[in-house]
Amino acid sequence: MNQLKDAGSLIHSENSTRYPFVAQDRVNSLFGHQIHCVLRLVGFVDMELLVQAYRVTLDIEPVLGCRLAEENQEWFWERRSDLDMLNGVSIHETDDVETQLKAFICAPSDARVDPLISIRVFRSTYDLICVKCNHACCDAGGVKDYISLLSSTYNHFSSSPNSPPTVPNKGRRDQGIVFDQLGYDNLLEAWDASETQPIAKWAFPFDPSTEQKLWTSAYRFQPECYRSFQAFNRLHGVSFNDLLLTAYYRALFSITRSYGAGPMPLPVTMDLRQHLPNGKAKAICNLSSSMNIEIEVFEHEPFLDTLMKVNRQTKKAKNPRLGVNGMVTLETLAALNYEELKKTFHMSMEEGIKSKKSNPILSNVGIISDQPIFFSDVEVIDAYIAGPIMMPPGFLLLISSYNQNLTLSTGYDASSVKEEHVELLLRTMASELILAVS
């Protein structure tokens, strides 16, 4: 475990130009995923201040100002030499915000070349800010941390334009901080062999295609629905996650016609920061794992019956070491040579396409910010996170909320996954939720 404990330190501490490509970064980099946070303001942002704040955040969180580099078959994060010339913030004036936003979200990004963080402002009668974050450097929890950092840095320069540079964050970014907190000294000790690993039994419908059309879909609930969901959860003693997972399960069983096929597994992502003091990591990073739920849904089964099955499973899954086996698996994979890791990844994808089985995933990243977000005196009145665009056979639904606006979003390859199937999934979930609380 010593290697894990040292993994967050600088490779070249004397000049701080290289940083470790830690386990979660290595594995996430294989997918080429981006995570986006969309912020709607009541007015307009000061572009000069936004550019200044963006540039300083890349110094406060040094890895965010890096590119992925390789030397002698060793991969690492290397500080960019062009940070002061980097075109990481742009503005587009448009009357068609949604079309332009979707194009930005669907645009790929290469961690070896492109900025790990980029920002686009879509200006119409108001400003809509989209922050694009490369999943190789941070997960949705890290994205939320970055939004907080960006807005607070912007506000700092708004009130104190001549303030000195901020000291870089030296916090660790590796899983070792969680292993340490839980008291594990080695991977063997951390592994729980009694914890069963689910096999792939189903998938969201897809037909393999040689073409590629990256696309996103979303469904948004208004605050009155959010409050109804909260009241329903209190009445039945369940969590928001239980409610959402129940609707997701029921919609998936309906669309895939899996009734009678037995229990189906569904991984639910979890934030490993919950194991840390105050639920926070000291640096922006990837720090996620998953818990595995497996239930059967019968045709015409009442919503409450499914909900109680989900609730029992989630209570059983939650324990003080939740997500640890996933961490051990990632460390084991990341120990492979990077080229070997790529081969393992591609073989897994090919097997999933061949078998047409890859368990759908739910990622409920929760509330983006407990407090209203401001850029100076301009308030963010609405926000959501758009999850990574998954390639078949994978499928992930990401759920986020802000200011009591709840959003379901998913990204997919529309040449393989039919848009009408995705829209049906979202509508079915919405219908299940609204009918359940009515």
Shared domain check, 194 and 141: no
* Spatial distance between the Cα atoms of 355 and 359, rounded to a whole number of angstroms: 12
Query: What is the CATH number for 83?
Result: 3.30.559.10
| Alpha-carbon 253 to chain mean position | 24
d(CA 134, CA 236): 38
5 within a domain of the structure (yes/no): no
% of the chain exceeding 90 in pLDDT = 92
Question: How many CA atoms lie within 13 Å of 233's alpha carbon, on the beta-carbon side?
Answer: 17
Residue 2 scores a pLDDT above 70: no
Is 146 inside a domain boundary?
yes
* Beta-sheet pairing, 117-123 with 89-93: parallel
- For residue 368, pLDDT beyond 60: yes
Please say which residue of 125, 159, 193 terminates a domain. Answer: 159
155 and 219 fall within a common domain? no
Domain assignment of residue 407, yes or no: yes
Structure token pair of residue 365:
């990243």
Whether 141 and 187 map to the same domain: the answer is no
> What confidence score (pLDDT) does residue 166 get?
76
Residue with tokens 């540079």: 165
pLDDT at residue 432 in the model: 98
Name beta bridge partners: 70.
75
Beta strands, E only, 89-165: 89-93, 117-123, 127-134
Query: Full-prediction pTM beyond 0.85?
Result: yes
Residues 150 and 182 in one domain: no
Residues 357 and 414 placed together within one structural domain of the fold: yes
Say if residue 306's pLDDT is above 50: yes
Residue at token pair 């070792």: 176
Half-sphere CA count of 197, side-chain side, radius 13 A: 8
Does 13 reside within a domain?
no
- pLDDT bin (cut points 50, 70, 90) of residue 197 is confident
Please give the single-letter amino acid code of residue 48: E
9 belongs to a structural domain = no
- Say if residue 140 is in the same domain as residue 182: no
Q: Which of 124, 159, 194 is the last residue of a domain?
A: 159
Residue 288 is assigned to a structural domain of this protein:
yes
Say which residue the tokens 């400003």 belong to.
Answer: 127
Which of 128, 159, 190 represents a domain boundary (last residue)? 159
Average pLDDT over residues 47-68: 97
Confidence of residue 4 (pLDDT cuts 50, 70, 90): very low
Note the pLDDT tens digit of each residue in 110-144: 999 999 999 999 999 999 999 999 999 999 999 99
Strands (E), 181-223: 214-221
DSSP string, 26-56: HHHHTTT-EEEEEEEESS---HHHHHHHHHH
Q: 409 and 335, same structural domain?
A: yes
Q: Which residue has the higher pLDDT, 14 or 431?
A: 431
Q: Tell whether 419 and 293 lie within a shared domain.
A: yes
User: What is the rounded CA–CA span in Å between residue 332 and residue 190?
Assistant: 12
CA 143 to chain centre: 8
Q: How many domains does the chain have?
A: 2
Q: What angle do CA 361, 362, 365 make, to 5 degrees?
A: 135
Asked if 42 and 153 sit in the same domain, the reply is yes
Q: Comparing 168 with 126, which gets the higher pLDDT?
A: 126
Residue 52 to residues 46, 61, 92, 157, 248: CA-CA distances in angstroms?
Answer: 10, 15, 18, 8, 41
Residue 214's beta-bridge partner residues? Answer: 413
> What's 239's domain CATH number?
3.30.559.30
279 in the same domain as 132: no
Which amino acid, residue 21?
Answer: F
Q: Model confidence at 6, in pLDDT bands (50, 70, 90)?
A: very low
Segment 333-341 mean pLDDT = 93
Is residue 34 within 8 Å of 133, Cβ to Cβ?
yes
Q: 133 is in which domain, residue-wise?
A: 18-159
Determine, yes or no, domain membership for 8. no
| Tens-place pLDDT, residues 77-114 | 999 999 999 999 999 999 999 999 999 999 999 999 99
Edge-to-edge strands, sheet with 74-79: 18-20, 74-79, 66-71
**Are 301 and 346 within one domain?**
yes
Which backbone phi and psi does 116 adopt, to 5 degrees?
A: -70, -30
Measured CA to CA, the distance from residue 42 to residue 45 in angstroms comes to: 10
**Please, which pLDDT band fits residue 198 given cuts at 50, 70 and 90?**
confident
- pLDDT band for position 417 (cuts 50, 70, 90): very high
Peptide bond into 205 cis (omega under 30): no
| Cβ partners under 8 Å of residue 97, min gap 6 | 122, 124, 128
Residue 396: pLDDT over 70: yes
Q: Compute the distance between CA of residue 89 and CA of residue 54 in angstroms, rounded to an integer.
A: 8
* pLDDT on residue 162: 86
Cβ 330 vs Cβ 365: under 8 Å:
no
Counting Cβ atoms within 10 Å, is residue 366 exposed (0-12), middle (13-18) or buried (19+)?
A: middle
Q: Are residues 265 and 332 in the same domain?
A: yes
Q: What values do phi and psi take at 313, rounded to 5?
A: -65, -45
For the cut 50, the answer to whether the pLDDT of residue 370 exceeds it is yes
Q: Write the burial class of residue 433 (CB in 10 Å: 0-12 exposed, 13-18 middle, 19+ buried).
A: buried
Is residue 201 domain-resident?
A: yes
Count H helices, E strands: the chain? 13, 16
The pLDDT of residue 15 is 54
pLDDT at position 88: 97
DSSP 246-312: HHHHHHHHHHHT-TTS--EEEEEEEEGGGGSGGG--SS----EEEEEEEE---TT--HHHHHHHHHH
